[in-house]
C-alpha cells in the first residue's frame, strides 16, 4: 500500500477573511443546549461544527461520529482585540513604524541591507531573529519619518549665528514659514552629528571617493568635483582638483575634524569620529523639534536644505494588552485596538518583510483580532456525567464567556451607552479573549471554573509534559501492550520472555487466513478463549465477529481463505520488551514468547543489566507487533542477541550476574571432582554432545570429571582465549612475573579449542559489562552462539549452585574474638591516638599547613586520612579471619556481588561518616551532638563509626550514620531528575544526526557535523572495546606472538 506523505507544514496567521471562509457556522448564542436538551442552532455545540454524540450526523459533512473530523465556526467580535501572544511584537512594530504613514522608520538602503541579511539567513536555514531584533532597534531610534515629510530649502545667508542658538530665531522661523511650513514658539533647535557617515578618512583617495563626491555635490553643489582628481598630499591632507579649481580637505591635528578649505578662504568643518583604528568623517545637521514635526537642516552652499517630517511619539506598552502614546508634555493617550489595527494596516508589504514577517501569511493587522475562530466540538468534547448532566470542556466555557460579553458589547453600543461602559466592556472582552488563548498570562488573574480551578485554555493544552506536543503527539498510549511484575527464570533463553497465559489470551496477532494455515486457524477458532485460541474472526467484508463459546464451531467451519483471525499469543511470537526509564536503545529489545502459567513476566537474569532491572518488584512492558514489517525489523535489529554488545563501549552488556558468577566461580575453582552422575546432573537441561574423557580415576576407582571440564562442555568448539580474570593480583604491575597457567589464584584463564585449561571463571569472564568469553564468542562465532552460550551458562551456574548450596548469613560476618580485639585495641585505638596527637599539635599551633590550605583544612585532611587507613586496616584483618571460603569474600572476589568494603563495614568497622565530603560538623554550636564537649574534634565526636554493622552502632554512631545516609538519599533523588533532563536535552539536540552514504555525519540542514563518523567511520557497537580492529589478536593468530 502506498501511503501519502506530508511533505511540509506551513505556519501563518489566519486572516479574518480566511477565518470566515473556513467557518461552517457563525456562533452568536452564548449557550450550548436548549431547554429541550437539543443543541441550540446558533450555539457553541452547533451540529454544523461536528458531532460527538453517537447516532447523530454532522450537518456540514453528513459524517457520523468518528467519521466527521469537526468543522470550525466563527465569532464576529464587536470590537477588535489584541492577540495576547503578539502583544509584545505589536508594541515593537508600532514603535518601529511611522504613526502617520505606517512606513518602517529606516532609510531605503538600510531596508535593502536588512532584507538581504534576512534572505541570507533564510538561505542558510538559520535564525533570522538576530537581524530582526537589529531592525527593530534601529528603526525605533528614529524620531522622524523620512517618508511622509517634505524637502525644501531656504537661503542661509546671515543665519550662521542663528544656528548656534537653542531656540528658533525669528529670522529662521520667518524663512521657514515663507515656504509654507509653520514652526511653533516652543520649538527647540540643536546641532548634532548626522548619523549617516560620509566616508572613511583612510579610504579617500580610494574606494570611498564616490561617497565624498556625492556629498560635495549634494550639500555644496560642487558639480565640478565629479570630474576632479583626488589625491593625497600627505597623511593629513587630501586635495581635489580639476583644472584651476581645487578643494583641500585637511584633518585637524587632534584628529577630531576635517576642514574643507574652499577657494577664496571659505572653509567648513566636518566632525570626525574614531571607531577602533578607523577615522570616519560625518557631517553636522541641525534639528528643530516641534510638537508634531521635526525639521532637519543640512548645510548647502548658500542654502539650508530642510526636511520636515512627522515626529514620532514614544509608545508605552502596559502588560498585557494596553498601548499608550506619550505626548510632548508627558500626557499619555491610550491607543485602542482599533487605532492599533489601523496603524498596522498602513504598513506596506515591503516593510513587513523587513520586519521578518511574511506578508502573504502574516499581515501585522491580523494580530489584532476582529473575528475569532471557534474550534470544532470534536476538539472540545463535552462529557456526560453519571447523573446524566453534561459537563462542558474548558474551551467551551471560555467561548461562552466571550460570546456573552460580545453580545452585551453590541447591545450597549447600539443602545448608545456611555463611552465609559463601552470601554469597560471592551476591556472585559479583551480579558476573555486573552485568557481564551493563554490562562497563565502575567499580570492578569486566570479565568476560573466554578469550582475555583483555573481553566485549561489553548496555551495550557499545548504546553508541557502532559501537553499536546509532548503528551499526545510525541508519545501516545498504545494498544497490544501488557505490563506486569518481572521474576527470574534461568531456564529460559536470554532472548525469551515468559508470558502469563492470562496475558497471552488477551494480546492478539491478526493473521490472514490462507490455504496454508486454514486448518490451523480453524483449530484456533475452535479453541476460542482457551489458550492457543483466538478472540475475534474478521470476515472478508471487514466485520469483526467476537468468538464466544456459542459460535466456536460455526465460525470454525465458516472460516475460509480471506478471513482474518485475531489469535492469541503463542510460543515463538516476537514481542518487544521494555523497562522504564528507557535510557538507551537496549531498554527495548525483542524477545520470543514462552507462554507459561503464573502472573509475572519471566526473564533470564542475564538480560537484567541492559534493562537495569532487578526482581524486587520491577514491572516491565510488553508490546505485540502487529505488522510483518515490524516483526522483521524487530528480528533484525532488536533481538537480544543482536544487542549483546553495548554501543556505549563496544563490550558485552548482557552477561552473568550474582549467582551466575558465584555458581561458575565455585564450579571452576580449585580441583573439584565429580562422578559421572554428578556431572550429568549439573549439565541436566543443557544441550551438549559429549562429556569427554574423564580427567582421571578417583580413589574409589570411579572415573571423575573436573569442574573446569564441565564448564568446557558449554564452551563452543574452536574457542581460543587467554586473559587475566578479576581475581588477578596484578603481579606484573608490582614488578613480579606472571606465572600464567600456574597462577596460585587461578587468575590466568586459558581456553584452548573450547576447553578451559586453567583459570577460574569470574566476573571478568562471563559477567555483564566485562564478559571476555562472551565477547570473544560473539565476535568469532556469531551472536547466536553467544546467545546459546549465555543461556547455557546460566543453566549450568544455577544447576551447580543448587547442588553445592550457597548462602550468606549473619554468622558469616563473625570474626573470632582475637580478630575483634586486634581491630578494636590495636588498629582503631591507635588511629584514635594519632588523631588526638594531631589535634594537640593543631591546638599547640605546631601543625604545618599543607600548601594552599588553612591549618584547619590540613588538620581535617590528615584526620580523614588516618581514619580511612584505620578502617582499611580493620577490613584487612577481618578479611584474613574470614578467609577465602567465606561466602561474602567469595562473592566480592569473584565479582558476583558486593565489595571488600561492604564486608569490612559489616564485620570490622563502618568507618567515617561524611556530609558534603567532610567529617560531620553540623549540629550545635561547636559540637555535633550534646553528648560531646564543645570544640571536641576527636574521631568519635565527628562521625567516626568504630563499630561494625554486625556489632551494632552506638546511639551517636547511629545518628551520624543516618546523617550520611540522608545525604546519599537526597543526592540520588536530585541526580535522577537532573540526569533525566540532561538526557532529554542531549537527545533533542542530537536526534537528527545521521550517517550518510558517503560516511559523513549530517543534520537536517545537510550541514556536515563530521566528515567521517568518529574520525574512523567505525561503529562502536561493532568495535572491539572501542578499537576498530584488534591487531594484536590478528598477529597472535597469524604468527603466534604478541
Partner 1 sequence: MAEERERVIKELISSGIERAIAEEIARDFTVSELSVSREELLAAGIVDRYADDILCMLGIELAGEVKPCDIEAQVNATPLPDKLKSELKSKLRVVRRLLTRDKLNTILKRVIGEYEAARVDPREAVGIVAAQSIGEPGTQMTLRTFHYAGVGAIYITLGLPRIIEIVDARKKPSTPAMKVRLQPEYASDRRKAEMLAMEIEETHIKDVCRVESSADDMCILVSLNNRELEKRGITRAAVEDRIKSLDMPVDMDEDKIKIYTKNKSYHELLRLEERISNMLVKGIEGIRRAIVRKGSEGEYMIYTEGSALKKVAKIEGVDFSRTTTNNIAEIAEVLGIEAARNAIIDEMISTLEEQGLDVDVRHVTLIADAMTVDGEVKQIGRHGLAGEKTSVLSRAAFEVTVDNLLEAAIHGEVDELRGVTENVIVGQPIRLGTGAVELVARSHMMQ
Query: 961 to 990, contacts with partner 1 by CB under 8 A?
Result: 971, 974-976, 978-979, 982-983, 985-990
Which DSSP symbol is given to 847?
P
Query: What angle (nearest 5°) sits at the alpha carbon of residue 770, between those of residues 767 and 776?
Result: 95
Site string for partner 1, 887-916 (x = CB under 8 A): -----------------------------x
Q: Are 577 and 608 in contact (CB under 8 A)?
A: no
- What number of other Cβ atoms are within 10 A of residue 819's Cβ? 18
Select from 25-33, 810-818, 869-877, 1001-1009 the region that touches partner 1 (CB under 8 A).
1001-1009
Residue 188 contacts partner 1 per CB under 8 A: no
Q: Considering only 382-390, 417-425, 468-476, 818-826, which stretch makes contact with partner 1 by CB under 8 A? A: 468-476
* 608 sits near partner 1 (criterion: CB under 8 A): no
Which phi and psi angles does 579 have, rounded to 5°?
-125, 130
Candidate ranges 139-147, 272-280, 671-679, 1005-1013; the one touching partner 1 (CB under 8 A): 1005-1013
Closest distance between partner 1 and the C-beta of residue 632, in Å? 9
State which of residues 20, 26, 584, 836 lies at the interface with partner 1 (CB under 8 A): 584
Residue with cell 464587536: 78
Would you say 278 or 1009 has its CB closer to partner 1? 1009
Q: How far is the CB of 194 from partner 1 (least distance, A)?
A: 34
Cα pseudo-dihedral 470, 471, 472, 478, rounded to 10: 120
Site string for partner 1, 619-658 (x = CB under 8 A): ----------x---x---x---------xxxxx-------
318 binding partner 1? (CB under 8 A): no
Looking at beta carbons only, is 120 or 1019 nearer to partner 1? 1019
- Residues 1019-1038 interacting with partner 1 (rule: CB under 8 A): 1019-1023, 1026, 1028-1032, 1034-1035, 1038
Considering only residues 649 to 708 of the shown chain, the ones binding partner 1 according to CB under 8 A are 649-651
Residue 462 lies near partner 1 (rule: CB under 8 A) = yes
Least separation, in Å, of the C-beta of 643 and partner 1?
A: 12
DSSP state of 446: P
Cβ–Cβ < 8 Å for 540, 515: no
Minimal distance, residue 5 CB to partner 1, in Å: 6
- Decide the pairing of beta strands 601-603 and 481-488: parallel
Query: CB of 837: closest distance to partner 1 in angstroms?
Result: 18
What are residue 217's phi and psi, to 5 degrees? Answer: -70, -45
In sequence order, the 6+-apart residues with CB closer than 8 A to the CB of 64 are 51, 54, 55, 56, 57, 58
State which of residues 351, 438, 566, 788 lies at the interface with partner 1 (CB under 8 A).
438
Do you find a cis peptide bond into 246, omega within 30 degrees of 0?
A: no
CB of residue 760 to partner 1, shortest distance in Å: 24
Reduced to 3 states (helix: H, G, I; strand: E, B; else coil), residue 259 is strand
637 or 884: CB nearest partner 1: 637
**CA separation, residue 97 to residues 86, 132, 368, 458, 839 (Å):** 16, 14, 16, 31, 75
Report the alpha-carbon distance of residue 626 to residue 567 in Å, rounded: 12
What is the closest distance, in whole angstroms, from the C-beta atom of residue 603 to partner 1 in the complex?
20
Taking the least distance from each CB to partner 1, the nearer of 789 and 1013 is: 1013
Q: Is residue 299 within 8 Å of residue 194, measured between CB atoms?
A: no
Using rule CB under 8 A, residue 855 touches partner 1 = no
244 binds partner 1 (CB under 8 A): no
Min dist CB 631 to partner 1, Å, is 13
Choices 324-332, 414-422, 448-456, 844-852 (CB under 8 A): range interacting with partner 1: 844-852
CB-CB contact of 494 with 790 (8 Å):
yes
Rounded to the nearest whole angstrom, what is the least distance from the CB of residue 772 to partner 1 in the complex?
A: 14
User: According to the binding rule CB under 8 A, does residue 1016 interact with partner 1?
Assistant: yes
Q: Tell me if 7 contacts partner 1 by CB under 8 A.
A: yes
Are 750 and 759 spatial neighbours (Cβ–Cβ below 8 Å)?
yes
Region from 236-244, 369-377, 669-677, 996-1004 binding partner 1, contact rule CB under 8 A? 996-1004
Q: Using CA atoms in the order 827, 833, 834, 839, what is the torsion angle rounded to 10 degrees?
A: 150
How far is residue 771's CA from residue 715's CA, in Å, rounded to a whole number? 14
In terms of CB distance, is 583 or 884 closer to partner 1?
583
Taking the complex as a whole, the smallest distance from the CB of residue 983 to partner 1 amounts, in Å, to 3
Q: Give the whole-angstrom CA distance, residue 246 versus residue 266.
A: 12
Candidate ranges 24-32, 46-54, 579-587, 593-601; the one touching partner 1 (CB under 8 A)? 579-587
User: Contacts with partner 1 in 914-933 (CB under 8 A)?
Assistant: 916-917
H/E stretch holding 674 = strand 673-674
Residues 471 to 530: which contact partner 1 by CB under 8 A? 473-474
Q: How far is CA 640 from CA 416, 625, 741, 795, 802, in A?
A: 78, 16, 34, 18, 27
The DSSP symbol for 672 reads -
Which residues from 82-141 bind partner 1, rule CB under 8 A? 85-86, 89, 125-129
- Using alpha carbons, select from 351, 298, 300, 343 the residue that is nearest to residue 107: 351
- 8 A C-beta contact, residue 290 and residue 189: no
Does the protein bind partner 1 through residue 858 (CB under 8 A)? yes
**Is residue 865 a contact residue for partner 1 (CB under 8 A)?**
yes
> Phi-psi category of 948—alpha, beta or left, where left has phi over 0 and alpha has psi -120 to 50?
beta
Between 356 and 500, whose beta carbon lies closer to partner 1?
A: 356
Site for partner 1 in 327-366 (CB under 8 A): 356-358, 360-362
Concatenating the DSSP letter of every residue in 752-819 gives ETTEEEE----HHHHBTTT-HHHHHHHHHH-HHHHHHHHHHHHHHHHHHHHHH-----GGGG---HHH
d(CA 521, CA 540): 15
Q: In terms of CB distance, is 134 or 554 closer to partner 1? A: 134
Say whether residue 585 binds partner 1 (CB under 8 A). Answer: yes
Cα 92 from Cα 160, distance rounded (Å): 40
Q: Least Å distance between CB 6 and partner 1?
A: 5
CB nearer partner 1, residue 360 or residue 485: 360
Rounded to the nearest angstrom, the gap between the alpha carbon of residue 344 and the centroid of all alpha carbons in its chain is 38
Q: Which residue has the cell 584483618?
A: 877
| Interatomic CA distance for residues 79 and 498, integer angstroms | 66
Nearer to partner 1, 651 or 795 (CB): 651
Residues 12-51 that bind partner 1 (CB under 8 A): 12-13
Please give the backbone phi and psi of residue 189, each rounded to the nearest 5 degrees, phi first. Answer: -120, 135
320 binds partner 1 (CB under 8 A): no
Comparing CB distances to partner 1, the nearer of 687 and 971 is: 971
Nearest approach, Cβ of residue 897 and partner 1 (Å): 17
Q: What is the DSSP letter of 469?
A: I
Residues 59-78 within binding reach of partner 1 (CB under 8 A): none
Q: Of the two residues 38 and 469, which places its CB atom closer to partner 1 in the complex?
A: 469
How many residues sit in the footprint of partner 1 (CB under 8 A)? 107
Residue whose CB is less far from partner 1, 93 or 828: 93
- Residue 359 CB, nearest distance to partner 1 (Å)? 9
- Minimum Å gap between C-beta 363 and partner 1 is 10
Q: How far is the CB of 77 from partner 1 (least distance, A)?
A: 19
Q: How far is the CB of 945 from partner 1 (least distance, A)?
A: 20
Amino acid at each position: 500500500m502506498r501511503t501519502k506523505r506530508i511533505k511540509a507544514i506551513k505556519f501563518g496567521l489566519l486572516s479574518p477573511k480566511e477565518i470566515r471562509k473556513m467557518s461552517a457556522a457563525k456562533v452568536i448564542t452564548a449557550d450550548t443546549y436548549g431547554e429541550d436538551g437539543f443543541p441550540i442552532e446558533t450555539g457553541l455545540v452547533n451540529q454544523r461544527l461536528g458531532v460527538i454524540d453517537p447516532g447523530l450526523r454532522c450537518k456540514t459533512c453528513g459524517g457520523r461520529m468518528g467519521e466527521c473530523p469537526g468543522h470550525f465556526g466563527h465569532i464576529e467580535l464587536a470590537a477588535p482585540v489584541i492577540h495576547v501572544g503578539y502583544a509584545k511584537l505589536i508594541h515593537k512594530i508600532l514603535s518601529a513604524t511611522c504613526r502617520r504613514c505606517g512606513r518602517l522608520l529606516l532609510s531605503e538602503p538600510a531596508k535593502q541591507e536588512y532584507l538581504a541579511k534576512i534572505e541570507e539567513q533564510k538561505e542558510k536555514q538559520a535564525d533570522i531573529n538576530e537581524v530582526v531584533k537589529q531592525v527593530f532597534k534601529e528603526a525605533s531610534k528614529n524620531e522622524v519619518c523620512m517618508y511622509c515629510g517634505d524637502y525644501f530649502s531656504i537661503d542661509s545667508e546671515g543665519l550662521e549665528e542663528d544656528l548656534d542658538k537653542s531656540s528658533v530665531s525669528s529670522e529662521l522661523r520667518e524663512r521657514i514659514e515663507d515656504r509654507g511650513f509653520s514652526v511653533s514658539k516652543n520649538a527647540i533647535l540643536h546641532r548634532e552629528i548626522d548619523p549617516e557617515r560620509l566616508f572613511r578618512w583612510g579610504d579617500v583617495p580610494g574606494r570611498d571617493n564616490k561617497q565624498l563626491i556625492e556629498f560635495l555635490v549634494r550639500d555644496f553643489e560642487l558639480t565640478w568635483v565629479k570630474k576632479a582628481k583626488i589625491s593625497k598630499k600627505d597623511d593629513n591632507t587630501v586635495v581635489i582638483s580639476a583644472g584651476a579649481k581645487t578643494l583641500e580637505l585637511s584633518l585637524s591635528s587632534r584628529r577630531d575634524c576635517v576642514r574643507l578649505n574652499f577657494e577664496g578662504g571659505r572653509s567648513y568643518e566636518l566632525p570626525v569620529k574614531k571607531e577602533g583604528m578607523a577615522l570616519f568623517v560625518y557631517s553636522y545637521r541641525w534639528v528643530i523639534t516641534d510638537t508634531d514635526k521635526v525639521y532637519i537642516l543640512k548645510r548647502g552652499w548658500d542654502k539650508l536644505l530642510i526636511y520636515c517630517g512627522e515626529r514620532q511619539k514614544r509608545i508605552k506598552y502596559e502588560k498585557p494588552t494596553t498601548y499608550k502614546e506619550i505626548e510632548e508634555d508627558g500626557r499619555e493617550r491610550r491607543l485602542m485596538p482599533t487605532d492599533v489595527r489601523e496603524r498596522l494596516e498602513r504598513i506596506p508589504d515591503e516593510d513587513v518583510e523587513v520586519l521578518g514577517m511574511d506578508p502573504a501569511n502574516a499581515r501585522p493587522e491580523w494580530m489584532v483580532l476582529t473575528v475569532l475562530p471557534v474550534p470544532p466540538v470534536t476538539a472540545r468534547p463535552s462529557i456526560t456525567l453519571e447523573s446524566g448532566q453534561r459537563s462542558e470542556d474548558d474551551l467551551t466555557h471560555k467561548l461562552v464567556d466571550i460570546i456573552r460579553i460580545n453580545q452585551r458589547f453590541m447591545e450597549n453600543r447600539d443602545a448608545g451607552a456611555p463611552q465609559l461602559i463601552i470601554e469597560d466592556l471592551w476591556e472585559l472582552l479583551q480579558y476573555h479573549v486573552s485568557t481564551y488563548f493563554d490562562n497563565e498570562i502575567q499580570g492578569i488573574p486566570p479565568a476560573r471554573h466554578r469550582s475555583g480551578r483555573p481553566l485549561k485554555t489553548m496555551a495550557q493544552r499545548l504546553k508541557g509534559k502532559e501537553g499536546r506536543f509532548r503528551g499526545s503527539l510525541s508519545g501516545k498510549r498504545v494498544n497490544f501492550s501488557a505490563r506486569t511484575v518481572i521474576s527470574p527464570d534461568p531456564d529460559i533463553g536470554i532472548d525469551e520472555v515468559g508470558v502469563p497465559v492470562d496475558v497471552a489470551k488477551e494480546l492478539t496477532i491478526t493473521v490472514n487466513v490462507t490455504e496454508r494455515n486454514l486448518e490451523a486457524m480453524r483449530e484456533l477458532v475452535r479453541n476460542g478463549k482457551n489458550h492457543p485460541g483466538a478472540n475475534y474472526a474478521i470476515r472478508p467484508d471487514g466485520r469483526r465477529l467476537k468468538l464466544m463459546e456459542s459460535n466456536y464451531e460455526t465460525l470454525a467451519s465458516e472460516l475460509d481463505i480471506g478471513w482474518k483471525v485475531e489469535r492469541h499469543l503463542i510460543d515463538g511470537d516476537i514481542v518487544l520488551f521494555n523497562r522504564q526509564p528507557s535510557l538507551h536503545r537496549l531498554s527495548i529489545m525483542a524477545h520470543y514468547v514462552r507462554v507459561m502459567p503464573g502472573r509475572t513476566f519471566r526473564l533470564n537474569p542475564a538480560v537484567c543489566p541492559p534493562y537495569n532491572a532487578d526482581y524486587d518488584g520491577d514491572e516491565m512492558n510488553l508490546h505485540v507487533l502487529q505488522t510483518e514489517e515490524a516483526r522483521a525489523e524487530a528480528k533484525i535489529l532488536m533481538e537480544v542477541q543482536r544487542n549483546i554488545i553495548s554501543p556505549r563501549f563496544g563490550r558485552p552488556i548482557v552477561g552473568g550476574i550474582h549467582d551466575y558468577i558465584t555458581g561458575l566461580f565455585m564450579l571452576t575453582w580449585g580441583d573439584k571432582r565429580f562422578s559421572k552422575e554428578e556431572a550429568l546432573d549439573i549439565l541436566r537441561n543443557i544441550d551438549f554432545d559429549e562429556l569427554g574423557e574423564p580427567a582421571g580415576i578417583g580413589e574409589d576407582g570411579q572415573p571423575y570429571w573436573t569442574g573446569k571440564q564441565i564448564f568446557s562442555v558449554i564452551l563452543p568448539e574452536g574457542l581460543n582465549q587467554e586473559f587475566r580474570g578479576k581475581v588477578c593480583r596484578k603481579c606484573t604491575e608490582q614488578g613480579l612475573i606472571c606465572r600464567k597457567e600456574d597462577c596460585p589464584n587461578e587468575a590466568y584463564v586459558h581456553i584452548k579449542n573450547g576447553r578451559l585449561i586453567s583459570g577460574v571463571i569470574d566476573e571478568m569472564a562471563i559477567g555483564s559489562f566485562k564478559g571476555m568469553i562472551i565477547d570473544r564468542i560473539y565476535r568469532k562465532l556469531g551472536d547466536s552462539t553467544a546467545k546459546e552460550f549465555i543461556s547455557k551458562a546460566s543453566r549450568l551456574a544455577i544447576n551447580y549452585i543448587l547442588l553445592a548450596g550457597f548462602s550468606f548469613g549473619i554468622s558469616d560476618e563473625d570474626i573470632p574474638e582475637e580478630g575483634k580485639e586486634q581491630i578494636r585495641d590495636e588498629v582503631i585505638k591507635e588511629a584514635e591516638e594519632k588523631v588526638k596527637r594531631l589535634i594537640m599539635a593543631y591546638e599547640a599551633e605546631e601543625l604545618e599547613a599543607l600548601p594552599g590550605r588553612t591549618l584547619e583544612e590540613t588538620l581535617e585532611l590528615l584526620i580523614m586520612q588516618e581514619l580511612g587507613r584505620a578502617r582499611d586496616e580493620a577490613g584487612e584483618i577481618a578479611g584474613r579471619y574470614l578467609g577465602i571460603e567465606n561466602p561474602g569474600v567469595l562473592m566480592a572476589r569473584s565479582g558476583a556481588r558486593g565489595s571488600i568494603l561492604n564486608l569490612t563495614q559489616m564485620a570490622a568497622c563502618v568507618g567515617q561518616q561524611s556530609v558534603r565530603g567532610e567529617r560531620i560538623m553540623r549540629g550545635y554550636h561547636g559540637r555535633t551532638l550534646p553528648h560531646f564537649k564543645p570544640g571536641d574534634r576527636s574521631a568519635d565526636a565527628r562521625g567516626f563509626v568504630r563499630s561494625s554493622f554486625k556489632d551494632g552502632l552506638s546511639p551517636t554512631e547511629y545518628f551520624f550514620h543516618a546523617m550520611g545516609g540522608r545525604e546519599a538519599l537526597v543526592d540520588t533523588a536530585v541526580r535522577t531528575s537532573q540526569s533525566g533532563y540532561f538526557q532529554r536535552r542531549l537527545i533533542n539536540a542530537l536526534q537528527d544526526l545521521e550517517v550518510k552514504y558517503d560516511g559523513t555525519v549530517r543534520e537536517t540542514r545537510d550541514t556536515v557535523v563530521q566528515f567521517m563518523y568518529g574520525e574512523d567511520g567505525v561503529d562502536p557497537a561493532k568495535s572491539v572495546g572501542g578499537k576498530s580492529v584488534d591487531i594484536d589478536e590478528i598477529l597472535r593468530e597469524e604468527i603466534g606472538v604478541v
